Amino acid sequence: MNIKYFAVASALLATPVIADDVSYSVGDDALTGYWAAAENPQGLVLIVHDWDGLTDYERKRADMLAEMGYDAFALDMFGDDTPTETIDHRRAATGALYQDRTRMRALLQAGVAQARERSEAEAMVVMGYCFGGAVTLEMARSDMTAQARGYATFHGGLSTPEGQSWDGDEPPLLVMHGGADTSITLQDVTGLASELEEAGNTYTIEVYSNAPHAFTVFDSDRYNARADAASWDAFTAFLANRTSE
């Protein structure tokens, strides 16, 4: 499966009712998110971007979800003035948030508020890519956890920071990981699984053979069509299950 398949499949579905950038702020910082709305939403999805910021990739995923019948909001974790052009820029942007979890959670809460302001759907699921996967798990562990019915990560960061833990009361988790990922290893996967088992969480972990880190990113050298298709199928089933209760 590739981007051409998605384009054909999308043509068979309804287009988003609304699909546009959204300006908002956290304190003095200006941010830009992306809102894609379905005509009769079955639920709401909050999308957390990768370390290169909110790009056309997240916008495409939001459009795909709206075409499937879900409202979707891709939030901004960096702000309009944060450079992301180079690897050093991206390391600085993500590193600042890893060091300031209070700020990370405030940005998440602002994104939730923007999504809730626009959607009438009650059930929300949070999903994230790479860095966004780590942020998604941060929200799941936080006092915001009950605001969503489920949390899903695609090739995301899996480590639990010092001072945090899983208590077993978090909503169900879906973790989708590439078996050939050298940035986040299979040891990281088993470490998270051990933590979740000990806490008594409900979770599913899928590992896709030969898929590298960032295996869902269209038109990149790391894109793996088979793993992308399988992970999207897993997520859409998870999403349907979590929003139908």
Q: Which two tokens stand for residue 71?
A: 């409202």
Instruction: Give the predicted TM-score (pTM) of the model.
Output: 0.93
Cβ density class 124-156: b for 16+ within 10 Å, e for less:
bbbbbbbbbbbbbbbbbbbeeeebbbbbbbbbb
CB 74 within 8 A of CB 62: yes
pLDDT value, residue 9? 43
Which residue do the tokens 């998870």 mark?
238
Cβ atoms within 10 Å, residue 206: 14
**Distance (Å, whole) CA 103 – CA 109:** 10
- Provide the 3-class DSSP secondary structure of residue 171: coil
- Note the pLDDT of residue 89: 98
pLDDT given at position 16: 73
Statement: residue 7 has pLDDT above 70: no
For residue 100, give both structure tokens. Answer: 């300031």
Q: Is 232 helix (H, G, I), strand (E, B) or coil?
A: helix
Whether residue 112 is predicted with pLDDT greater than 50 in this model: the reply is: yes
User: Is the predicted pLDDT of residue 219 greater than 60, yes or no?
Assistant: yes
Strand partners, 33: 22
Tokens of 218: 């269209």
pLDDT category at 17 given cuts 50, 70, 90 is confident
Superfamily of domain 3-243: Alpha/Beta hydrolase fold, catalytic domain (3.40.50.1820)
Residue ranges of the domains in the chain? Answer: 3-243
